[in-house]
Amino acid sequence: MSTQPLLQVRDLSLAFARQDAQGNTTLTDALSNIQFDLHAGETLALLGESGCGKSLTSLAMMRLLPPNARYQSGRLLLKTEDPRRPEDLLRVSEARMRQIRGHRMAMIFQEPATSLNPVMRIGEQIAEVIRLHRGLDQQSTQREVRILLDQVGLPDPDKAAAAYPFELSGGMKQRAMIAMALAGDPQILLADEPTTALDVTLQAQILDLIQSLQQQRQMGVLLITHDLAVVASRAERVAVMYAGQIVESGAVSDVLHNPAHPYTRALLAALPERAGHGESLLQLPGRVPSLGHWPMTCRFAPRCADQEPHCLMESPPQVVMPSEQTISVVPHQVLCWRAGDEAMRAYGDSGSVNRRRTFAESAVLEVRDLQVGYESSHGNWPWPLSHWFGDKAIQKPVVDGVSLQLKAGETLALVGESGCGKTTIARAILGLQPLSGGEIVLDGAPIAGQGVRPQAGWRRNVQMVFQDPFASLDPRQRIRTILAEGPRALGLAPATTTDAALCALLERVGLAADALDRYPHEFSGGQRQRIAIARALAVNPAVLICDEPTSALDVSVQAQILNLLLDLQAETGMAYLFITHNFGVVRYLADRVAVMQAGRIVESGSTRDIFEQPQQTYTKALLASVPVIR
């Protein structure tokens, strides 16, 4: 680590101006006294739940804020050739800031699909950055584009440069986004959730790539994430944010191994890896307060199990904790009245409640030799235009000979890289995807296959919880309508759609009755996922298919959803087909695991056997890619 920081963030405070109906302007605090250094060759992680201010901090550093944002105080000191005269980014002109963005500092956004221009080729977008910041001629620019695309691991740089964003996979788009961020040869890279919702192998590849390029170029990397295992495996230092403040910071070994703030300990205790199979996970009560609703004293106190009277009366002091490091160059700092209090050590332990579940002898769901394919063109026209212009369509197999069994009360996890066919299997079971071969049997009766005519009403026995509840809930419908839609569509008894029945349904998933008259946008991400689960439960299914239901959730909200799923399974005896790439969740939740690769099941067995004695090279590679907290 260099002694002179590339960037010094000092006492950064930010507010948003809001105007009421009378024209009066009020300021709402958004960031308070943010302070850290970023060194060359170092990775600093910003950790915390959604809404804590992590992304806002990075946007404030880049001065990419809406017009109503107001810097209340602070300095952003960028290293210059003269170390005694750093450049304060809050005091330079916008023209100078445009030179700095992309050249001195660059950013990788969470969702490349929305960050890349959909009507520009990848090469053109990268070339634009090179021309703007490095002033190379056209020939040199094109050569640099190819070099960058090769550096980020795209197999055919020329083909990638000529492609539009929609022609690339998710991982390839993220690599192109990294190439564009590096095109201006920056010293500082801000990476905002660069691997959220990616499978473990792709996540490892992207993080390896960033780390390799960082070492080659001696960049400072600010890694924004809510994944504690990624922090443990990739960062040297970590700053834990809550409600616009840094509440704990220091070396990763200090903060994650000896957490001193109740919030940090609660996040760690909510990890499924910290609990035994099926035990209750810690549920952090409440949620991060929204802007304008922060307590004037300790902001975490309303959710803290260890609060004392003075926590609600005065703002906490910043305390420097003892360090594990022999020579401590990074202070371990905590914003808490009770920092170092040994009486808090038990806080956040996982519960010992282990739900009793019984499995049926016979399978409630069977997938037999399932085959699913998609049409693809053989000639010059893409499918479906080939139908009109005479090309012969060919079938490309996506799922090839998959067989699965699922018993009542059991959880089967389906794991594998993106694109291996996991979601296609789920869609086929639900009748949303035609089969090329094989059959699907529910409670002994075929529901899909060649010549199969399923019995009426079978759909009520198989329901699905999708990855993104915001996209799967109709934004124009109240929750009452959303919950009643399934029973009405399937012709269930009117008693299932009364207010009393719907309120009971909400109570089962931990929501209050007043949710019935609200819209999806009025809820948090975890609450929306609870509503999605309630919608599935409304028809009393025997099988629940969960397609990445926790992949985009914070660890605290994930714990709530996993506890809920296990409680419901113990209560109803439902079978779960759980599709995920989170191996910590698999180990905690699943009874058996099936590993998919390129449309086939390559290994299956009990969860313990798969994790402790994997047989296939592919399974071993997947497990080796999983980041862990050591």
Residues 533-550: pLDDT tens digits?
999 999 999 999 999 888
How confident is the model over 364-374, as a mean pLDDT?
Answer: 93
Residue with tokens 């699905």: 464
Which helix (H) or strand (E) segment holds residue 158: the answer is: helix 157-162
Q: How many CA atoms lie within 13 A of 286 on its CB side?
A: 13
What is the radius of gyration, based on Cα positions, of the chain?
26
How confident is the model over 249-270, as a mean pLDDT?
Answer: 94
Q: Percentages helix, strand, coil for the chain, rounded to the nearest 5?
A: 35, 25, 40
Is residue 346 pLDDT above 50, yes or no? no
Exposure string for 135-144, b = 16+ CB within 10 A, e = fewer: eeeeeebbeb
Tokens of 473: 């809930």
* Confidence at residue 349, expressed as pLDDT on a 0 to 100 scale: 45
* Confidence at residue 450, expressed as pLDDT on a 0 to 100 scale: 79
What letter would DSSP give residue 520?
Answer: G
* Confidence at residue 325, expressed as pLDDT on a 0 to 100 scale: 66
In this prediction, residue 15 has a pLDDT band, given cuts at 50, 70 and 90, of very high
CA distance 540 to 454: 19
* Confidence at residue 220, expressed as pLDDT on a 0 to 100 scale: 97
Contact by Cβ (8 Å): 362, 417: no
Contact by Cβ (8 Å): 302, 295: yes
Point out the least confidently predicted range of 202-206, 294-298, 301-305: 202-206
Per-residue CA distances from 477 to 280, 465, 483, 525 (Å): 33, 18, 10, 17
* Confidence at residue 449, expressed as pLDDT on a 0 to 100 scale: 86
* The model's pTM: 0.86
Kindly tell me the sign of the dihedral angle through the C-alpha atoms of 376, 381, 385, 389: negative
Q: For a pLDDT cut of 90, what percent of the chain falls above it?
A: 64
Strands 69-78 and 7-19: antiparallel
How confident is the model over 110-118, as a mean pLDDT?
Answer: 84
Exposure string for 512-531, b = 16+ CB within 10 A, e = fewer: eeebbeeebeebbbbbbbbb
Hey, what's the torsion of the CAs at 513, 515, 517, 518, to 10 degrees? 170
In this prediction, residue 347 has a pLDDT band, given cuts at 50, 70 and 90, of very low
How confident is the model over 36-64, as a mean pLDDT?
Answer: 95
CA distance 49 to 33: 19
pLDDT in tens, 547-571: 988 887 888 889 989 999 999 999 9
Point out the least confidently predicted range of 105-114, 184-193, 329-338, 620-629: 105-114
CA distance 319 to 563: 34
pLDDT in tens, 444-479: 889 888 777 777 778 899 999 988 787 889 999 999
Average pLDDT, the chain: 89
Is residue 3 pLDDT above 80, yes or no? no
Residue with tokens 């809820």: 523
The CB-based long-range contact list for 328-333 (8 Å cut-off, 24+ gap) reads 328/251, 329/1, 330/237, 330/250, 330/251, 330/254, 331/250, 332/248, 332/249, 332/250, 332/251, 332/254, 332/255, 332/258, 332/260, 333/248, 333/249, 333/250
* Confidence at residue 383, expressed as pLDDT on a 0 to 100 scale: 45
CA distance 612 to 35: 43
* Confidence at residue 628, expressed as pLDDT on a 0 to 100 scale: 86
Tokens of 303: 């959710």
pLDDT in tens, 600-627: 999 999 999 999 999 999 999 999 999 9
Question: Edge-to-edge strands of the sheet including 87-88?
Answer: 25-38, 7-19, 69-78, 87-88
Residue with tokens 């990074």: 330
CA distance 526 to 469: 9
Cis omega (within 30 of 0) for bond into 384: yes
